[in-house]
């Protein structure tokens, strides 16, 4: 039997223009990541037995010196297969809100340097999908290893016949010509 971990990650972002945080016309926001001896990743914790997602998000926010989300909103769910010594992983990416300035976020343990990472440099595809869901108001995507998949309730575009347009009963012999008034 394979082991499995459930992670809660907090997506904290910094908009390009704090006066218009959801405006992505100039550029996409940067995302807070921490490095704890490895590649930068979103701040996160393994969900403890009987722990709520809200409590886990609160643990992450408190460790960063941020206010915990009142009602954490799941922005993406990503399932990753087991690889090597790493167990199968189910990650819930939760909206941690945005910060207007380059606020010095500090992990209480002092061992995790942080950085604001541009979207193009995010190592985890699920973060990009979560940020897009947040910015454009899409429902949270379900992901397999960072790639969206359709749910059984989603319509299958290949199985639904596309109706043929009805033929025009009186076709215009010269559609580009417009009669003079």
Query: Residues 138-163: pLDDT tens digits?
Result: 777 777 777 776 655 555 555 555 55
Nearest CA-CA partner of 101 in 27, 19, 169: 19
Domains assigned to the chain? 4-148 (3.90.79.10)
**pLDDT 10s digits, 43-73:** 999 999 999 999 999 999 988 888 888 888 8
This model's pTM is above 0.75? no
Cβ burial, residue 19 (10 Å; 0-12/13-18/19+) = exposed
Q: What span, in angstroms and rounded, lies between the C-alpha atoms of 50 and 34?
A: 26
- How much is the pLDDT for 28? 87
Quote the longest CA-to-CA distance of the chain: 80
Structure letter (DSSP) for residue 17: S
Nearest CA-CA partner of 42 in 131, 147, 145, 170: 131
Number of Cβ within 10 Å of residue 16's Cβ equals: 14
- For residue 13, is pLDDT > 80? yes
């Amino acid at each position: 039997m394979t082991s499995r971990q459930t992670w809660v990650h907090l997506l904290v972002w910094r908009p390009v223009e704090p006066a218009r945080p959801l405006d992505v016309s100039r550029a996409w926001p940067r995302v807070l990541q921490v490095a704890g001896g490895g590649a930068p990743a979103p701040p996160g914790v393994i969900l403890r037995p009987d722990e709520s997602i809200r409590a886990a998000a609160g643990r992450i926010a408190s460790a960063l010196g941020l206010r915990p989300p009142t009602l954490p909103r799941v922005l993406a769910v990503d399932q990753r297969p087991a690889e090597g010594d790493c167990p199968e992983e189910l990650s819930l990416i939760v909206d941690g809100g945005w910060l207007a300035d380059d606020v010095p976020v500090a992990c209480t343990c002092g061992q995790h340097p942080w950085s604001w990472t541009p979207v193009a440099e995010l190592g985890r595809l699920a973060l990009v999908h979560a940020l897009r869901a947040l910015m454009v108001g899409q429902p949270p995507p379900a992901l397999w290893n960072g790639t969206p998949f359709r749910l059984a309730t989603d319509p299958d575009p290949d199985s639904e016949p596309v109706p043929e347009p009805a033929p025009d009963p009186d076709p215009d012999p010269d559609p580009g010509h417009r009669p003079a008034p």
